[in-house]
Amino acid sequence: MKMCEAFSDLGYTVTLIVPRRLNHIKDDPFTYYGVKKNFKIKRLPTLDLVKFGRIGFLTQSFTFSIFSFLYSILNKSDIIYSRDELPLFLLGFFKKSVVYEAHMPRFNFIIKRFTKIITISKGLKDFYIKNGVREDKLIVAPDAVDLGDFDITINKDEVKQKLGIPLN
C-alpha cells in the first residue's frame, strides 16, 4: 500500500491488484493502512483455500496468478511491479517491463526473465549476481519505514506515569 502511494505521489497511475479473499480487515484498506486514496485497488477472483495449508495456499496463489495475468494482458500498462514471481513470469512473455521486488534469496529460471529486480539489501543483490543475474538488471532499494508513523510526542516520564512504572 505504501509503495502504491509513493508511486502515485511521483505522478504514476497505479492499480494495486489483489486477490478477492475473506479477510479479517473490514475497514477501508486506505484507512486501515493509513495511506492516501491516490491509486486504485482491483480485486480479482481466486480460489480462497489458504485455510487448508500449503496446498490451499499454492492453489490460491496459482489461481490468482492466472487471473492477474489475464487482467494485465487485457488492460494496458507500461510496467508491472510485483513481489509474486509466477504472474510476472507469465507476463514476461507479453509485456515489455516486468519488475520483481525480491525480499528473500530465491533463485530459479523465472528470475532471469524479469526486466529489473529490486532487492531490499546489497546482500540480496550479491546473491542474484552470484547466481547469474546481470548487475545492470538489479537495483537495491532498502525496506523503509515511514518515520511519521512513529512521531512520538510524549516524553519518557509521561509514559512511565501512564504505565504505572516508577519514575526512577
Q: Is the dihedral of CA 82, 83, 87, 89 positive or negative?
A: positive
Average pLDDT over residues 10-21: 92
Q: Is the pTM of this model over 0.95?
A: no
pLDDT at 143: 76
pLDDT for 29: 92
Average pLDDT over residues 118-124: 93
**Residue 28, pLDDT score:** 92
Residue with cell 525496506: 143
Query: Percentage of the chain surpassing pLDDT 70?
Result: 99
Parallel, antiparallel, or unpaired: how do β-strands 116-119 and 138-140 relate? parallel
What average pLDDT score do residues 50-63 get? Answer: 89
Q: Residue 132 pLDDT > 70, yes or no?
A: yes
* Buried residues in 82-113 as b, exposed as e (16+ CB within 10 A): beebbbbbbbbeebeebbbbbeeeeeeeebee
User: Distance (Å, rounded) from C-alpha 65 to C-alpha 85?
Assistant: 9
Residue-wise pLDDT for 66-107, tens only, equals: 998 899 888 888 888 988 888 787 787 776 788 999 988 887
In the chain, where are the structural domains located? 2-143
What is the CATH T-level fold of the domain 2-143, as seen in this structure? Rossmann fold (3.40.50)
pLDDT at position 55, please? 92
**pLDDT computed for residue 144 by the predictor:** 67
48 — pLDDT class (breaks 50, 70, 90): confident
The half-sphere exposure of 99 on its side-chain side, counting CA atoms within 13 A, is: 13
Determine the average pLDDT of the residues in 3-10: 93
Residue 5: pLDDT above 80? yes
